[in-house]
Structure 1
């Protein structure tokens, strides 16, 4: 029997830390399912025979601090805690200048600075011991970590390279350079900590959207202030004008305009009334509302967004996986090259042994793969955070990379390109039938269905004040028809392709479809009962969304179960290609055909589109069905706007451009310094600067993405 445990791990600041910690723990017996999340500072593992203290000792040996949190297996036991409730970020985060890495940097800076000043007035033999002392002070923590990593199966760590070079420099009499090398390395580590903290601040800003308290309505009708984390499903909550909403819920009473921009990025306040859903983190702009809580604090919109961003930051993009595999070979390869520089250049190029040893050590420092390894995850984490702030959620680096590469984007029509609220526009009863009879019988058959067209027919019956006759024996064929027995006769409502009509009704049907309307045919027995025409208006920004995608060089395609004439009429208004009369399995075939031409994204409302979303290279859900959308798709547009899809493509491309810039900086700087080192132009400390400098540049470049705007 294994127990799943979670720890908060402090001190991780780059992908290298994650890799070394993961490898070290994998070597331990009795531990499995190891997940290390850099952005969330979380370690999750299942322990069978290993004890928690052993895990904490192993983590400490690598220079990190592990603090146990709640048991991952039992979320309900701490119902009152959100995913973040266990450790207040404000308490957990020390200011960067007070961290252990910063203190080491200040100490080394002081020692190297003092030694440098004294070297101006004292002879070298008196100041060299000061430089050696500074080097030794740094080598204690770095050396301990290098030994721990070597013991745990990672002999070629950056710490090993740096310690080897520093000790080698002291031995060949370059104590001053050895001290500068360890100081620059410590400085680089400190800057990585600051950068990682900046990226995490993006996620903490989301957590800060949740108010600490809420006004719960008591049984007596009054209100009591309770911690927001203690709200349970079914509680009634009062939200006053100006309050931030503390829960996901539905409005029981009141009307107001809600500013949802903190959650969805949608700048215009949205009017909401009884029966409508409200998201945690929104701001109530006008009237007082009474909300019925629909999700516990640990599962509301904000908590799920935070969880998604954290999990997304932990999942690796294909480019990142390649870089990690490459760096596993790069470091041992670089050590062999350094050894060749030391051993082969004296006989081949006539260098003296001191020169070959010095330059070989410099090559060793240039070989540190830190900047290259961090180039991808730093950009990905910033891109994911920037998107989340603007209501664009992506479930990981792989999805973020795939969205920008898509050649085609397929859109479901109903609820995605259109409002998803069709209404009846025309009623054409067959000869001898009335409009009321047509609506009453069709509504009786449709009352078991949740399809948007069924809801529209039921709404029309409600508007006319019709009482529906009893129906039994309901059956449905998805995409074709529904039928039931009403007053002893079989009544069917279906698409014209599966319930054909002839004569005057057929001519009317053609005219209505030409106007971009969806027509349902009602039959009683086998005789026509009449036609019901419905129209679902395109979203206000659908045409702009298609134009934005076309401008990015992406081809949008509409996939719809609707008839070809209606599909063509709507597609012409929006400016995209239409594939109509598709059953669910036909949509899968269309996606497969598009995939043969290149990567394809599918956009749907996440409910009936789940198979197509899964079949595409990347599935994007519109935020209308947030619950289902967040679960089924690889990405979600929370603001319910079609233009959000083009924004996702732009975000993906901006992130991948940042990744390429980072890789160019990391490899370019190293290449340049490798040449200058072998030519004898630069020495040891510029070599470590090539790595530290590249790491800092790469990280700062990645942080620029946090300011990304569509």
Structure 2
């Protein structure tokens, strides 16, 4: 049986969450269409088409009947479908991030692409309607009403042509209760009862509201896509003979060599092969202090080279570099709906038909219940119909979430979706891994204590043989110390690990193991006088490993992994936010408690991977738990927590693991994530209050006869503008100093 195929379209003209709902509902009605995904910020529609189902052309036609423009994107939905987001040729064609953030390339008419918003089709409609309405008002000062009334009627009819056509298309596509339907019904009703002047103002305000939504959507997109400006347009590619050639940064391929001069932006994710310099990575990570880099160090696309020239080998093509992946991640995150957003959408689904029913009751019942004349009941019923539009309410949540996600990304705080953004702010407890999270993750060997009669060099050589080939931080420290002493490390075979306890191998015919003192005790190793030394070293906050051969202790190694410079400040910032911080570590209790005491948090030590999961489950009984780890060894705990946060020590891991990532590699970034989440959700609550509050006020004043039709449409248009502007304030969010 043939499988369904995934197809992708670029959809132009979507302004808000209501647009997403319209497109989704319309496409879902087509036969054989499944898994419909509409991403507002990426202008992307992705669907699964079953064999012998609706054709791609039918999908395009269905979308365009709603008044949008749909362009099929050929190739893989994961690659080609995202091309418009990358800092390559397509992004440049769209003017993304190259001084054109003020333009709006997503209007309904494709001819509007690249035009300023005031020259788009929607703007032209507003200018024309505004001219008609203002002209009619001006003439009304000198001419009788019978001569100016047709001008107001003409303005109403001019607007009703595009809006009415769209309302009919939406009704056929499964959205009969759209704002277009409500507005057209109210405007036609007003014209019928002789209130063409107010009908003209209603359609003008509606057109202004649509234009402002378009501008706001463009600003929100520009806020996210301005990240593409971090990529240089061109770079110098090195040839084997040492000459250089200027090429587009998007044309770089893996293993190309590039020359990065002082002041240049790094055009790729790569590794330095020659040169020394300080790199300003703040555009990517938000970390303002330049970092010294040299041969063998990795660099990320978008970083600024401060002084020396660098020769860099490309590790990733443009479509997969850090900047492209951040843009893709943030745009995809905006399509992930938070629980609050899902609730608002469910609420709005029954709000509009219910409000239409209330409008009908106002028209039909009030003449009998309150003695209103039919003109008054019809007029006020039409006003209620306009107040019923849920646009402001529906856009209130996703607008704030999109701005919050974008503001975080600009500061190296990456969050994979609205649900994670909402959860982080309500965390009651943050659980930290120790190594590589609260500490630098670069332990160094500080003590070598062989048993009586033993040799320090022999002890270190045996340990290095067992640890050879391991990527564990302690293993690297052992191998580095052996290399520094120029020791001859004997070959080992049969290396294996006991998770969380020890590493063992056969060296010179003996079974040698390097493991924790706890493991040595469990296997019955007699430590003798070493036991007191182990206790002393652990009390100093050092990690101790016991080297044993054929069930006899050879000696102990002690390591020190210094806490990060900002670890104590990061814990203190969380405490100030009312969040409890704990440390989960597999290290021994003395070491864990010694480090925890210096940082001001509680330690849970000697935890195996399974123990960490149980601790996370226990902590979750008291509320939401965030787990912070390096994204490699802590993957199970990150997944088990309410929300997992990866530190950005390894950019690859930070981007791919957990629900959020802190690219600056700062512990204080965790408190910044919490603050961003709380600021975003406060913005959401304010937006919902504005949307519902304005409608409530105008509903009361309408029923009392204080306000009429045009204030009713202003209740929605004004609320939409206010919640959008309020959401855009988040783009300027900065962590507290």
When normalised by structure 1's length, the TM-score is: 0.98
On the 8 A contact 2:74/2:80 being kept in 1, the answer is no
What is the aligned partner in structure 1 of residue 513 from structure 2?
492
Residue 80 of structure 1 deviates from its aligned partner by 12
Q: How does 1:573-588 map to 2 (within 5 A)?
A: 573-588=598-613
On the 8 A contact 2:462/2:490 being kept in 1, the answer is yes
What is the aligned partner in structure 2 of residue 246 from structure 1?
267
What is the aligned partner in structure 2 of residue 683 from structure 1?
708
1:593 paired to 2:614? no
Q: Give the secondary structure class of the aligned counterpart of 1:25.
A: helix
- Alpha-carbon deviations, 1:199-233, whole Å to 9, x = none? 11112210011011121211222222221112111
On the 8 A contact 2:75/2:81 being kept in 1, the answer is no
Of the structure 1 ranges 56-65 and 368-377, higher mean CA displacement relative to structure 2 is found in 56-65
1:695 paired to 2:700? no
What is the aligned partner in structure 2 of residue 52 from structure 1?
56
On the 8 A contact 1:69/1:86 being kept in 2, the answer is no
Q: Give the secondary structure class of the aligned counterpart of 1:465.
A: coil
Q: How does 1:3-22 map to 2 (within 5 A)?
A: 3-22=5-24
Distance 2:331 2:94 in 1: 14
Residue 273 of structure 1 deviates from its aligned partner by 1.2
Tell me the matched-pair count: 710
On the 8 A contact 2:86/2:228 being kept in 1, the answer is no
Of the structure 1 ranges 233-242 and 427-436, higher mean CA displacement relative to structure 2 is found in 233-242
1:448 paired to 2:465? no
1:535 paired to 2:560? yes
What is the aligned partner in structure 1 of residue 28 from structure 2?
26
1:437/1:201 Cα in 2 relative to 1: closer, same or farther (>3 Å)? same
On the 8 A contact 2:701/2:707 being kept in 1, the answer is yes
Aligned match for 1:560, one of 557, 569, 585: 585
Aligned match for 2:69, one of 34, 56, 65: 65
Q: How does 1:464-543 map to 2 (within 5 A)?
A: 464-500=485-521, 501-543=526-568
Residue 76 of structure 1 deviates from its aligned partner by 8.1
RMSD value, Cα: 1.6
Residue 345 of structure 1 deviates from its aligned partner by 0.6
- Alpha-carbon deviations, 1:371-396, whole Å to 9, x = none? 10000001001000100000000111
Q: How does 1:133-532 map to 2 (within 5 A)?
A: 133-500=154-521, 501-532=526-557
Distance 1:65 1:94 in 2: 16
Q: Give the secondary structure class of the aligned counterpart of 2:519.
A: coil
Q: Give the secondary structure class of the aligned counterpart of 1:208.
A: helix
Residue 6 of structure 1 deviates from its aligned partner by 2.5
On the 8 A contact 2:268/2:317 being kept in 1, the answer is yes
On the 8 A contact 1:203/1:385 being kept in 2, the answer is yes
Distance 1:395 1:81 in 2: 17
Residue 55 of structure 1 deviates from its aligned partner by 2.1
Distance 1:387 1:142 in 2: 37
Residue 79 of structure 1 deviates from its aligned partner by 9.5
1:74/1:384 Cα in 2 relative to 1: closer, same or farther (>3 Å)? closer
Of the structure 1 ranges 495-504 and 568-577, higher mean CA displacement relative to structure 2 is found in 495-504
What is the aligned partner in structure 2 of residue 37 from structure 1?
39
Distance 1:479 1:196 in 2: 50
1:631 paired to 2:631? no
Residue 521 of structure 1 deviates from its aligned partner by 0.4
On the 8 A contact 1:80/1:297 being kept in 2, the answer is no
Residue 84 of structure 1 deviates from its aligned partner by 6.1
Q: How does 1:87-102 map to 2 (within 5 A)?
A: 87=91, 88-90=93-95, 92-102=113-123
1:353/1:84 Cα in 2 relative to 1: closer, same or farther (>3 Å)? farther
Distance 1:527 1:428 in 2: 15
Q: Give the secondary structure class of the aligned counterpart of 2:150.
A: helix
Residue 339 of structure 1 deviates from its aligned partner by 0.7
Distance 2:239 2:394 in 1: 55
Of the structure 1 ranges 4-13 and 87-96, higher mean CA displacement relative to structure 2 is found in 87-96
What is the aligned partner in structure 1 of residue 628 from structure 2?
603
Q: Give the secondary structure class of the aligned counterpart of 2:558.
A: strand
Q: Which runs of 5+ in 2 are unaligned?
A: 96-104, 106-112
Distance 2:720 2:157 in 1: 24
Distance 1:325 1:78 in 2: 30
What is the aligned partner in structure 1 of residue 674 from structure 2?
649
Of the structure 1 ranges 223-232 and 260-269, higher mean CA displacement relative to structure 2 is found in 223-232
Residue 7 of structure 1 deviates from its aligned partner by 2.4
Distance 1:166 1:76 in 2: 44
1:670 paired to 2:695? yes
Distance 1:409 1:605 in 2: 14
Of the structure 1 ranges 225-234 and 615-624, higher mean CA displacement relative to structure 2 is found in 225-234
- Alpha-carbon deviations, 1:468-487, whole Å to 9, x = none? 00111111111100111110
Residue 81 of structure 1 deviates from its aligned partner by 9.4
Q: Any runs of at least 4 consecutive aligned residues in structure 1 with deviations exceeding 6 A, and if so which?
A: 76-81
Q: Give the secondary structure class of the aligned counterpart of 2:650.
A: helix
On the 8 A contact 2:88/2:250 being kept in 1, the answer is no
1:74/1:586 Cα in 2 relative to 1: closer, same or farther (>3 Å)? closer
Distance 1:103 1:641 in 2: 49
On the 8 A contact 2:133/2:155 being kept in 1, the answer is yes
1:551 paired to 2:556? no
Q: Give the secondary structure class of the aligned counterpart of 1:86.
A: helix
Residue 517 of structure 1 deviates from its aligned partner by 0.2
1:38/1:73 Cα in 2 relative to 1: closer, same or farther (>3 Å)? closer
Distance 1:183 1:337 in 2: 25
Distance 1:609 1:502 in 2: 31
Of the structure 1 ranges 116-125 and 676-685, higher mean CA displacement relative to structure 2 is found in 116-125
